[in-house]
Amino acid sequence: EDQVTQSPEALRLQEGESSSLNCSYTVSGLRGLFWYRQDPGKGPEFLFTLYSAGEEKEKERLKATLTKKESFLHITAPKPEDSATYLCAVQDAGNNRKLIWGLGTSLAVNP
Amino acid sequence: EAGVAQSPRYKIIEKRQSVAFWCNPISGHATLYWYQQILGQGPKLLIQFQNNGVVDDSQLPKDRFSAERLKGVDSTLKIQPAKLEDSAVYLCASSSRGTILTEAFFGQGTRLTVV
């Protein structure tokens, strides 16, 4: 069964303390993997799309990487404004190309 | 570029009442999605439109939920009658490249509380 699992469920960091969020997936064929950021009371905001193993993308303090089984979202020297829930979604090449969403990682960065 | 617009932002209704949500996607976006997001969970796709045709409504509870997309632009999602478990945020999203892999842009959502 297609599945997307994110870990940890919640993460609390001190400002400047780098860390990584994980998104592991099980799909018959990966068409693409998306990372989104969601602030309380708002819709998800698109961050990255990754298409194939080995691919990396960066945006400010965020860097997303992809392997055949998982993706990491690395946060370097985070700031309090990086506090949000980070959602991962995978599009299956089969299964009518559905987007399968993880439950998200809630990140809190303390000043 | 204007984003995805949704209204209302908040709605409180009693169970068994009906409610409707409205969505205006980003101009030119052919694909429109309605998602249900329960607190602490990821979004769950309810229905996906390509222009004004339905691509996927496999997770839409069709006995109580309905959706339409008028002239391939705006869309409305209706619940009739509402149940307590329908309390959630309803998110509308749109994307530009149809059913081919592409990122979706989300609206602010409508928070529905059924009491």
Cα atoms found within 13 Å of the Cα of residue B48, Cβ hemisphere only: 18
Question: CA A110 to CA A10: how far, in whole Å?
Answer: 14
pLDDT score for B94: 92
Q: What secondary structure letter does DSSP report for B4?
A: -
What's the pLDDT band for A77 if we cut at 50, 70, 90?
very high
Tokens coding A87: 């959602």
CA A20: distance to chain centroid?
9
Residues of A in contact with B91 (CB under 8 A): 43-44
Residues of B in contact with A91 (CB under 8 A): 101
Q: Reduced to 3 states, what is the DSSP secondary structure of residue B52?
A: coil
**From the CA of A71, how many Å to the nearest CA of chain B?**
17
Comparison of pLDDT for B106 and A97, the residue scoring more: B106
What's the pLDDT band for A96 if we cut at 50, 70, 90?
low
